[in-house]
Amino acid sequence: MSIQHLPNTASIAEAEAVVREHGHVIIDNLASHEIIDQLVAEMQPYVEQSPVGERPWGYKTRRTGRLMARSPVARDLVRHPLMLGLVKSLLSHAPGIQLAVTDMITLDPGAEAQPLHRDELAFGNFPFPPDYEVAYNVIWALTDFTEENGATRIVPGSHKNPLVDHSGDATVPAEMTKGSVIIFSAKIWHGGGSNVSTGPRRAQSFNFTVNWLRQEENQFIACPPKTARTLPEDLLKLMGYETIYGVGHAGGQTDPLAALFEDA
């Protein structure tokens, strides 16, 4: 088993073929260090205020959300053409996609390895068909990801048999350089590694789902209307300001985008 890498010149079709076969792909050096450093700088005050988690989700792990309200750089990064185009293509069997989670994840030194899991578990034990993808996670490396500092560990190919417990299988660290990104299926078994280094491992996670599922992070609350009204329409639709065959309207079949600006 090995981690699949593609250069940042890869096409959406090339990346999609790798993800469908292996359940994941790393696109190397997709964002510049300057962009990554600016994102970290914008979010650092909020990261410092974020509490550490509890076992099993990281007693030395800090998760900082509400990126659409807090970070202009994140608003651009979440719409990167190759990354977003890949996710849209992977979930093209649905009416559309939506942004479900925005987490900046900081693994401090001493953070223990996270138990292996599937991101589909965020929706309880609902029996999604094994061949129906409902979500993809996108993790940008804000520092180099190494085995030593807790690079995400995955079981390549486990998306093909998601209902089998792969927690005892051998995992592979998704090592990648700062500015690279890994996209993987919500069915694949994975978990954060243990950080035995002397510095933090930083990551930016964007989770996308088919747009008929409830968002894990409520974007309408996480990003207040006053801020939402300043954002571009394509981003607002990605955040959920869009109807699906009449579902998601703002009352009386009112378009949610129209309702957002109604009293502005």
CB atoms within 10 A of CB 116: 20
Strands across the sheet containing 153-154: 172-173, 153-154, 190-191
Note the pLDDT of residue 54: 65
pLDDT tens for residues 3-50?
999 999 999 999 999 999 999 999 999 999 999 999 999 999 999 999
Query: Would you kindly state where each structural domain of the chain is located, as residue ranges?
Result: 5-219, 224-264
Note the pLDDT of residue 55: 57
Low-confidence ranges of the chain (pLDDT < 50): none
Q: pTM for the full model?
A: 0.95
Note the pLDDT of residue 250: 80
β-pair partners for 138: 183, 206
Assigned superfamily of 5-219? q2cbj1_9rhob like domain (2.60.120.620)
**CA-closest candidate to residue 114, choices 176, 181, 222, 189:** 189
